[in-house]
Amino acid sequence: MQTFSVLLAALSVRVYALDSDFALISEKLLPKFLTEKERGVYILDEETSPNRLCSVLFTPVVRDKTVPSPVSALRFLYDETEAKKHCQEVRDIAGEVARFLAEHATIDTQTGTVGVVSRNTQTVFQLPEQKLFFVSFPNGELSVQAVPEGIADVSVLGVKESGIDYLYKKEKEHRNLFDSFLIAEECKYKDRWKTQTIKNFPSKRKEAALLLSFLAAKEFQLDLEAASDMHWEEENKCGLKIPYGIGLLITDKNSSCYLELFDFTNTKIKKLVVSSFDITKINFKNTSTEELFLTDEAAVEFFYNSIENPKLYVEKFSFGKNVNPKRESFLKLIKPVHEGENVAPRKIKKLIFIKSSFFNFLEETRRIPQGKIHVEDLFVTQNGKDSWPKTGTSTRIVVNKKINIRGKVRVLQFIELGSELNHLDIDELKRQCLSPEIVIPRINIQLT
């Protein structure tokens, strides 16, 4: 039998006094030892935020270069809060875990096993099938368990220009702590602004409740059509509560039976996205939403017709690219916002215009008394033959947080920057676009 020590790669930049068989790998070099996409491991609870486990990573050091290594990396997970509770005299928890594993872990390349001595007992795990281990601290002592196959998993299904779709999977029940474990593929830093949508959902209530706690913490969007396979056990028919942080996508494909699986009483929803659906069909009671995003004309009509008898309190409005800016219902929703009427939402979160709809919107809103419409985010794609509103207008759009403009440069003439963007100077660009001597046919700018 040929046994090798392992090379420690701890998730810390601190230096540990390890045995001479081990070497410290800095955090900057750690990605070189990872062969898979970054995946966080969490312990979920219905009542609290997900607990992301800390990691200590090992990779084999083969002194005999002719002998291949059977495994790329061993990942040992531990709950830092639990560790501090049971090992109160230890100030450096990560260092303590690293030292313990450095002293007690060995790899047998011939049998493809890793052995860990904990609590005076040696436990042998098969490799390379199993690369995840969980370190617990019963009675202040360190104990190691193999994380079983088939625990809950959230992984990327596909990446689009403005969103990322995720797929949920859990292969089997374990009837122990590992039923609350979740491995999740982390969003890349460059994609952090994109909407993250879960495309399927657990059928069992307990499993669904655990996943909802994770989705809320990560501010995922839940397509209610994904709830079509959900069913509740006979002994528990109560609707499932939606924790704050989750965005809900409701379309005309959703039937009322999906909505009945949830209880919206005394609930605050982070974001409610509605497409071609009568929002009055939802059993709201003392329900509010931070943002109501009406994506098309049908959604606007349904909401406008119910505004006199509201069941839902809305803090901010958003309108999608498929809303016709000339429709009376849309304009009547916009106008009360700026006249202070109580029946309307207080603010506009986002406006999206495509083709020639921006200039059409300016023409239709020219009678707003204040002459200015305040929004947080504005997205404009202004193409076509028109380079100016057909009728005169003094309406201006005041943008406070984010602006994205593609197409006709003269769009800028009708935009003012609010308090959070006024450190940026677009006056010179405005002046140039009015000069007949300077030709700026198209622009593509984004300001945040």
> Does 286 fall in a domain?
no
Residue in the block written with tokens 């901010």: 316
> Does 69 fall in a domain?
yes
**Of residues 177, 22, 29, 28, the one with CA closest to residue 100:** 22
Look at residue 249 and tell me whether its pLDDT is greater than 60: yes
> Does 400 fall in a domain?
yes
Mean pLDDT of 35-46: 81
Q: What is the distance, to the nearest Å, from the Cα of residue 396 to the centroid of all Cα atoms in its chain?
A: 33
- Please state, for a pLDDT cut of 90, what percent of the chain lies above it: 27
User: How many domains does the structure of the chain reveal?
Assistant: 2
Range with the poorest average pLDDT among 230-239, 256-265, 280-289: 230-239
Q: 244, 269 in Cβ contact below 8 A?
A: yes
Domain end: 146, 179, 201, which one? Answer: 146
Domain end: 85, 117, 146, which one? Answer: 146
Question: What's the pLDDT band for 73 if we cut at 50, 70, 90?
Answer: low
Look at residue 164 and tell me whether its pLDDT is greater than 90: yes
Q: What is the pLDDT of residue 328?
A: 85
> Does 87 fall in a domain?
yes
Tell me how far apart the alpha carbons of residues 226 and 200 are, in angstroms, rounded to a whole number.
5
Tell me how far apart the alpha carbons of residues 358 and 379 are, in angstroms, rounded to a whole number.
10
Q: What angle do CA 29, 35, 39 make, to 5 degrees?
A: 90
**Of residues 89, 207, 68, 73, the one with CA closest to residue 137:** 89
> Does 386 fall in a domain?
yes
Q: Of the ranges 137-151, 379-393, 423-437, which is most confident?
A: 137-151
Question: Residue 246: enclosing H or E segment and its boundaries?
Answer: none
Q: Which residues are within 8 A (CB) of 322 and not within 5 positions of it... i.e. 6 or more apart?
A: 295, 296, 297
Range of the domain at 360: 354-448
> Does 132 fall in a domain?
yes
> Does 89 fall in a domain?
yes
Q: What does the DSSP 8-state code read for residue 69?
A: P
Read off the pTM. 0.81
Amino acid (one-letter) located at 115: G
219-231 residue pLDDT tens: 999 988 777 767 6
Residue in the block written with tokens 């996205």: 273
Domain end: 100, 125, 146, which one? Answer: 146
HSE toward the beta carbon, residue 338, CA cutoff 13 A: 20
Averaged pLDDT of the chain: 78
Supply 281's token pair.
Answer: 């069909």
> Does 376 fall in a domain?
yes
Look at residue 388 and tell me whether its pLDDT is greater than 90: no
22/226: higher pLDDT: 226
Full 3-state SS string of 163-205: EEEEEEECCCCCCCHHHHEEEEECCCHHHCCCEEEECCCCCCH
* Count of residues making up the chain: 448
Residue 417, strand partner residues? 399
307-360 residue pLDDT tens: 766 788 899 999 999 998 888 888 888 865 544 444 344 589 999 998 778 888
Tell me how far apart the alpha carbons of residues 15 and 10 are, in angstroms, rounded to a whole number.
10
